[in-house]
Amino acid sequence: MTVTARPARSRLDPEPLPRRDFLGLASIAAAASALFFATIGMLRLPKAAVLSSPSKKFRVSLPDTLAAGVPYIPPGRSVALFRDADGVFAISRVCTHLGCIVNSAANGFECPCHGSRFAGDGSVQKGPAPRALSWVKVGGSAGDYVVDEGQIVPAGTKVKA
Ligand code: FES
């Protein structure tokens, strides 16, 4: 058997890349670019997809001039604090009908969504709200109270002023 020598190729005319090698290199390049763009995408994702909400527990100081029966609504909070002769208490302003935030009105609260009215102690005066506004936990001592909007307490629970 005679072996014929291949003619020598010049550097200007390199041997063509076999199809199998070309497809192998192309698949490696595709996998590398997919990995690259996936990494770039993951690096751009560290921001949380949801916004953090403020804690339901917060400190508050009542104004010295706050009169009995007048609500004090801390900015950005959905509770109303009251001071009377027996102490300090907080009532949630979340309507028990569908969850709108009630506004303080003369001698109580009024819901802007469907017109429910509540007395100053949170009891329902006019529907459609099915239940009284919740009382929430107040702790701390005179001048520096801690309100926990997430903790419901029985109506009438007060902390000494
Ligand atoms: S949400 Fe308040 S009355 Fe409907």
Gap between the Cα atoms of 2 and 145, Å rounded: 103
> Would you say the CB of residue 128 lies under 6 angstroms from ligand 1?
yes
> Would you say the CB of residue 94 lies under 6 angstroms from ligand 1?
no
Q: Model confidence over 60-109: pLDDT tens digits?
A: 887 777 777 788 888 888 898 888 888 888 899 889 988 888 988 888 88
pLDDT of residue 108: 86
Let me know how long the chain is: 161
State pTM to two decimals: 0.63
pLDDT of residue 25: 92
CA-nearest residue for atom 3, ligand 1, is 114
> Would you say the CB of residue 126 lies under 6 angstroms from ligand 1?
no
Residue 35 has pLDDT above 90, yes or no: yes
Residue type at position 89 = F
Ligand 1 centre and the CA of 14: distance in Å? Answer: 81
91 CB-contact burial (10 Å; exposed 0-12 / middle 13-18 / buried 19+): buried
Best-predicted range by mean pLDDT among 43-47, 82-86, 129-133, 151-155? 129-133
For the residues 20-28, what does the mean pLDDT come to?
Answer: 91
Q: Which two tokens stand for residue 104?
A: 């303080």
Question: Average model confidence (pLDDT) for the chain?
Answer: 83
What is the number of the ligand 1 atom nearest to the C-alpha of 114?
3
- φ, ψ for residue 39 (rounded to 5)? -65, -45
Ligand 1 centre and the CA of 99: distance in Å? Answer: 6
Scanning the chain, the segments in alpha helix (DSSP H) are 19-43
In the numeric block, the tokens 């917060």 are attached to: 58
> Would you say the CB of residue 100 lies under 6 angstroms from ligand 1?
yes
For the residues 42-57, what does the mean pLDDT come to?
Answer: 75
- pLDDT band at 2, cuts 50/70/90? low
Gap between the Cα atoms of 74 and 93, Å rounded: 11
pLDDT of residue 4: 65
Residue 160 has pLDDT above 80, yes or no: no
| Non-local CB neighbours of 54 within 8 Å, separated by 6+ positions | 76
CA-nearest residue for atom 1, ligand 1, is 98
Q: How far is CA 117 from CA 35, 70, 81, 121, 140, in A?
A: 60, 16, 18, 11, 30
- pLDDT band at 49, cuts 50/70/90? low
- φ, ψ for residue 28 (rounded to 5)? -65, -40
